[in-house]
Amino acid sequence: MMRNLALALVAVTGLTAASAAEAADQLTLQLKWVTQGQFAGYYVAKDKGFYEEVDLDVEIKPGGPDIAPPQVIAGGGADVIVEWMPAALASREKGVPLVNIAQVFEKSGMMLTCRKDSGIVDPKTDFPGRTLGVWFYGNEYPFLSWMATLGIPTEGGPDGVTVLKQGFNVDPLLQRQADCISTMTYNEYGQVLDAGIKEEDLTVFKYEDQGVATLEDGLYTTEENLADPEMADKLARFVKASIKGWEYAAANPDEAAEIVLENDATGAQTEAHQQRMVREIAKLIGSGGEKGIGYLDPADYERTVKVLLSGGSDPVISKEPTGAWTHDIFEAAQN
């Protein structure tokens, strides 16, 4: 009797140990946009088994124009999200306590692209009276802040600029409906070139160069998740494997583009486009300085907050946030 019980006990413990070894920890990542090279590092980490190595089973959810990652994480649909800092800080002020745990993109890829024949050389003197295409959905703040720095009103008229809410294409520039449009180095700029306009016929103003760049793709989770040691450990492993994925993607852009295409359920992306995107993204990720990819430089954070607080009459955040970032997860991921 005793022996049978002991045997059964051994069998049960053995079973649970075995199943624990098989079933990796679940984690859900919500992307900011559709499946594309912008997120290559995560797809590479999944495809190459980097997540498995750290005992994680990561589900990658693509986003889209109608998906706001902060809403997804607030509703419990994700554990970690890719988001731009303006939107993340705005959500934080509105009651979703998002915390930056790793800053994947070191530089901003946003720029204003103008046709050279429009005669725009210097933003300060040449912008007044022009029509500029700007993305909204929380991405307008760097622009508004830039105009505020230059002292150009955005309500139109001869002294100000007329702002158009630009859709997700480059037609306004091609059709000359706008003198300049917003582009990302890794996406729309390439579309302008594909449309047959040569690089030498374009004038570009990078937000990075104008001192009004805000931090783009970073990884965010909630304060609640961070307070849970088990979750914090999972997140650290996730960041570690994701960084590895990004390093691999940057070193092998063509293979990374291939992996992205395999994961694109919509089939909307093309190979050449994705290869170019991964290469451009690699430039934005940079080396992360001496700390490596994913390290949030507090100075960049401060600059982003300053830009957001000075966004004209209707700033994206009304007060300086506290506790909106942590190095804890990043440091844990280094071990």
Of 140 and 280, CB closest to other proteins: 140
Angle at 313 between CA 311 and CA 318, to 5 degrees: 65
Asked if 309 is part of the footprint of other proteins (rule: CB under 8 A), the reply reads no
In contact, 201 and 115? CB cutoff 8 Å:
yes
Residue type, 53: E
Which residues from 94-123 bind other proteins, rule CB under 8 A? Answer: 94-96
Least distance in angstroms from the C-beta of 166 to other proteins: 6
| 146: CB partners within 8 A, 6+ apart | 123, 207, 210, 212
Pick the stretch among 26-34, 111-119, 131-139, 245-253 that binds other proteins (CB under 8 A).
131-139
Please select the residue that binds other proteins; options are 37, 41, 63, 70, rule is CB under 8 A.
Answer: 70
Taking each continuous run of H as one helix and of E as one strand, the counts in the chain are 16, 10
Given 138, 142, 245, 294, the residue binding other proteins (CB under 8 A):
138
Is the alpha carbon torsion for 26, 28, 34, 38 positive or negative? negative
Q: How far is the CB of 314 from other proteins (least distance, A)?
A: 9
Give the binding range for other proteins (CB under 8 A) out of 56-64, 115-123, 158-166, 250-258: 158-166
CB of 308 to other proteins, least distance (A): 11
- Of 144 and 249, which has the nearer Cβ to other proteins? 144
Over the Cα atoms of the chain, what is R_g?
22
Total number of residues that touch other proteins (CB under 8 A): 32
Burial of 93 (0-12, 13-18, 19+ CB in 10 A): middle
Task: Check residue 177 for interaction with other proteins (CB under 8 A).
Answer: yes
Q: Does 126 bind other proteins (CB under 8 A)?
A: no
276's tokens: 């170019």
| Token pair belonging to 43 | 């797809």
Would you state the structure tokens that stand for residue 84, as one six-digit string? 């731009």
To other proteins, the closest distance from the beta carbon of 136 in angstroms equals 4
247 binds other proteins (CB under 8 A): no
Cα separation, 296 vs 200, in Å, equals 35
Under the binding rule (CB under 8 A), the answer on residue 267 touching other proteins is no
Tokens of residue 313, six digits = 């009459």
Contact status, residue 143 vs residue 134, Cβ threshold 8 Å: yes
Among 10, 136, 251, 302, binds other proteins (CB under 8 A): 136
Q: Interface residues with other proteins (CB under 8 A)?
A: 65, 68, 70-71, 74-75, 87, 90-91, 93-96, 133, 136-140, 154, 162-167, 169, 171-172, 175, 177, 316
